[in-house]
Amino acid sequence: MIEWKVEYILFGVIAFQWLVYLWNEYLTFRQRRVVKRNKTVPQELSHVLDQETLEKARLYSLDKSTFGFWQGLWGEIEMTIILLLFALPWLWDVSGNVMVICGLTGDHEIVQSLIFMFFGSIYSLISGLPWSIYSTFVIEARHNFNKQTPGFFIKDTLKKFVVMLLIGMPILALLIYIVKIGGEYFFVYAWLFTLVFSLLLITIYPSYIAPLFDKFTKLPDGTLRTEIEKLADSVKFPLTELYLIEGSKRSAHSNAYFVGLIKKRIVLFDTLLAGFHPDNKPKEAPLDNPRVAQDGEAEPAEPRPDEPLMDETKSSKTLKGCTDEEALAVLGHELGHWKLWHMPKNFLISNINTLLCFAVFGLLYQRDEIYQAFGFENSKPILIGMFIIFQFIFGPYDMVLSFCMVILSRRFEFQADEFAIKLEKEGKLNNGGELLKSALLQLQKDNLSFPYTDWLFSTFNYSHPPILDRFRGIDEAKKRLLNKAS
């Protein structure tokens, strides 16, 4: 058996953490240099992207980069201090003292672990709150993305914290119990438990968890709904529900996704669609009989049938969000992910990785040196073993896996783009390729994404290819399909 020297383990972990941080900062430096140098619109986008929008995107990118640098630096310093001062064993002892005060004596490792998790979660919440506040109310607000009030932010943060504990603590308790009673093959039972729970979470999330944080309404009847249902039916997508999410109450950023294990629901952000984007509505819309929401915030009355949903005085260039045709192209891309089994493939990779991690954990978690290196001289708590092994010992492996998943994700994106073009060739999606490019550009403008990227930075960090690469990929896919047809 390999002998591990206790004095080397902790400092090796800290050194690797800092090496990873410095590597990421080097990549960020490369991207920041690209952002600083490029102040003109790319030639490929000169006909659709104006100089003012590019400059806004450039400044937004620089602000996020600066914020990310200081947040990342503090995170590394904070973790180094926690490890060097042996804060983990101290908090474990505090959790044990709280347990004794509550009248529990003897071996109650699961209870002590839950107390440890509770205190650790409170510390993480408090230590991360200043960064979250600054990001939301300074960075995002400065660039007109933040839509949250302080009250909404506080309630949302507390709800996330409570839901995380309500879900996380039972999972932790059952995992520790499985490790304790599972015997030699506990890692198989632990993996099966996480597999079943993840499937359960996928099933209940859309109906019971997501509505706790955002308002969902059925997409109104009309041309868009009809065309989406027609498109979904053409590829045999099992669409059961089509919802609009009030994302504009939280942020001006836009998104679309589908969820569900068997019965699928498509969810569109109101900021994705030009017809529902709040910034496109008339500035002086009447507010007859305003309602008061349950959270105490006023809500405008429902628009009258003759009231325009969009400000008709705005030109198409100033409207935010995608047209209905562009939104259909985006959904054609998303349906490609489903048709090509991208989600099941990711799910399979994730679960193989989970099984491997639990198996390696089973080989390591009883080793005294691992616990002693982090200050645990007289105990080997399972929770601490999980934290040390999964968070630190697996560091190099996680870095390699993360890089591979980014590469795979980019490949999936190109494949989904090509699927949307195939839908066009099959007559199921009108002008799918060009409309997809138009939609990507509109989302790029609305989200102030900077079009220039450093190749090394994007390779390690962008799960979605940069927009210029997407455009080239779409054009190449159209040529390939045209050559096959001929």
Q: Are 417 and 437 in contact (CB under 8 A)?
A: no
DSSP structure class, residue 311: -
Q: Which amino acid is at 264?
A: K
Cα-Cα-Cα-Cα torsion 265, 269, 273, 277, nearest 10 degrees, comes to: 150
> Of 253, 247, 229, 225, nearest to 239 (Cα)?
229
For residue 278 the two structure tokens come to 């709040």
Give the containing element (helix H, strand E) for 217: strand 216-218
Q: Give the torsion sign (CA, 481, 482, 484, 485).
A: positive
Helix axes 324-339, 223-234, angle to 10 degrees: 20
Q: Verify whether residue 52 is a known catalytic residue.
A: no
Helix ranges, 38-105 (H)? 51-84, 87-101
Laid out side by side, the sheet with 264-269 consists of 216-218, 239-245, 264-269, 256-259
Residue 446's alpha-carbon distances to 45, 100, 154, 301, 312, in angstroms, are 15, 55, 26, 27, 19
239-245 and 264-269 strand pairing: parallel
Residues 6 or more apart in contact with residue 17 via CB below 8 angstroms: 76, 79, 80, 392, 395
Rg (C-alpha) for the chain, rounded Å, is 25
Catalytic-labelled residue, pool 109, 140, 326, 334: 334
Catalytic residue positions, numbered: 334
